């Protein structure tokens, strides 16, 4: 049986960071389970974040009007993408699971990781108009977000000052990962480790390693399947009328994004496993 592979896309500047400790814990645990672990350490690689025509080797398809998506798709088809992108493509192709490890910056990923998303998830390679969401190219792969926050968990609740964490996660989990077909596992959220005592940070790492033991057997998050939508330009890629009628009596919308004018479904983008709860990390919120 071929060895299974996990890719960790990692974005933190400091080797002494809590994110680095989380990455190392994942590498150790997954290797013990027999996985081959690849790491793209974006800062150490000096990975270029900006998506430009430098990503294409040779002549452009349409030099009069540069359109990044079209040009990189054509370059991917012709084997003319830059070497740093093709190297990451090989890692993605090999991986059964991709873990994105990062600190939450401005309610999103750091710029260098956004650059990885923009450049590596190339049209044609990662998605096409015909192959998106549950019919996507990477539907046999899994992906997840693992990240730290500066704010406490209560600040990211629906009645907290930052707003519902589910809303913040929707663009990344649905609009990026699930859009490319990935089965998205519940996020691993480390709430405000910089403001926690050492015992709490240790408990977080222990909880992460415990979760990793059964990670690939976990049930992915649920998203609205393509079959609920009229996938034609005439239908506007909108819900079938019959589906809308069936949802009228439901108290919540389909998902965080498809709220249908109803309340957001509670914790649609996270599960209980996404938070490492213990008596120790309860100290962080005192």
The domains of the chain are located at 5-221+269-285, 226-267
Q: Is the pLDDT of residue 284 over 80?
A: no
Q: Is the pLDDT of residue 274 over 50?
A: no
What is the C-alpha separation between 227 and 237, in angstroms, rounded?
10
pLDDT band at 281 (very low <50, low <70, confident <90, very high): very low
pLDDT computed for residue 1 by the predictor = 61
Name the 3-class secondary structure at 102.
strand
Residue 79: which residues within 8 A CB-CB, separation 6 or more? none
**Mean pLDDT lowest among 8-12, 73-77, 279-283:** 279-283
Residue 101 near residue 91 (C-beta atoms within 8 A) = no
Q: Map tokens 């814990």 to a residue.
A: 25
Residue percentage of the chain with pLDDT more than 70: 94
Closest CA relative to residue 8, chosen from 198, 192, 205, 212? 212
Q: Is the pLDDT of residue 277 over 50?
A: no
Query: What average pLDDT score do residues 192-218 get?
Result: 96
Tell me the pTM: 0.93
Q: Is the pLDDT of residue 34 over 90?
A: yes
Residue percentage of the chain with pLDDT more than 90: 93
Count how many residues are written for the chain: 286
Q: Is the pLDDT of residue 278 over 90?
A: no
Q: Is the pLDDT of residue 279 over 90?
A: no
Closest CA relative to residue 194, chosen from 284, 91, 100? 284
pLDDT band at 271 (very low <50, low <70, confident <90, very high): confident
pLDDT computed for residue 286 by the predictor = 42
pLDDT computed for residue 285 by the predictor = 42
pLDDT computed for residue 3 by the predictor = 84
Query: What average pLDDT score do residues 195-217 get?
Result: 96
CATH T-level topology, domain 5-221+269-285: Rossmann fold (3.40.50)
Burial of residue 159, with CB atoms counted within 10 A of its CB: 0-12 exposed, 13-18 middle, 19 or more buried: exposed
Name the 3-class secondary structure at 261.
coil
State the Rg of the chain over Cα: 20
Q: Map tokens 């590498």 to a residue.
A: 27
Tokens of 90: 């090989």
Query: What average pLDDT score do residues 20-33 get?
Result: 97
Sign of CA dihedral 113, 119, 124, 128: positive
């Amino acid at each position: 049986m071929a060895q299974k592979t996990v890719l960790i896309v990692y974005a933190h500047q400091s080797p002494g960071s809590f994110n680095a400790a989380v990455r190392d814990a994942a590498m150790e645990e997954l290797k013990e389970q027999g996985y081959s672990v690849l790491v793209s350490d974006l800062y150490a690689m000096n990975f270029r974040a900006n998506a430009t025509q430098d990503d294409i080797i040779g002549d452009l398809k349409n030099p009069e009007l540069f359109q990044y998506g079209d040009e990189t798709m054509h370059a991917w088809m012709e084997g003319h993408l830059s070497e740093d992108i093709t190297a990451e493509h090989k890692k993605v192709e090999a991986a059964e699971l991709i873990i994105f490890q990062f600190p939450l910056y401005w309610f999103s990923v750091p710029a260098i990781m956004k650059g990885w998303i923009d450049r590596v998830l190339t049209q044609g390679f990662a998605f096409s108009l015909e192959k998106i969401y549950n019919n996507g190219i990477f539907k046999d792969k899994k992906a997840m977000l693992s990240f730290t926050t500066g704010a406490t968990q209560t600040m990211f609740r629906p009645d907290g000052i930052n707003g519902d964490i589910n809303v913040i996660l929707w663009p990344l989990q649905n609009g990026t990962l699930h859009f490319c077909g990935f089965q998205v596992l519940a996020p691993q959220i480390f709430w405000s480790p910089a403001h926690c005592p050492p015992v709490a940070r240790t408990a977080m790492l222990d909880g992460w390693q415990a979760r990793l033991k059964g990670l690939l057997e976990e049930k992915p998050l649920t998203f609205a399947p393509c079959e609920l939508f009229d996938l034609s330009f005439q239908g506007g890629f909108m819900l079938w009328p019959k589906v809308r009628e069936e949802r009228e009596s439901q108290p919540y919308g389909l998902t965080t994004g498809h709220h249908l004018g109803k309340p957001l479904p509670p914790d649609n983008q996270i599960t209980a496993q996404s938070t490492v709860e213990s008596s120790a990390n309860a100290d962080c919120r005192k």
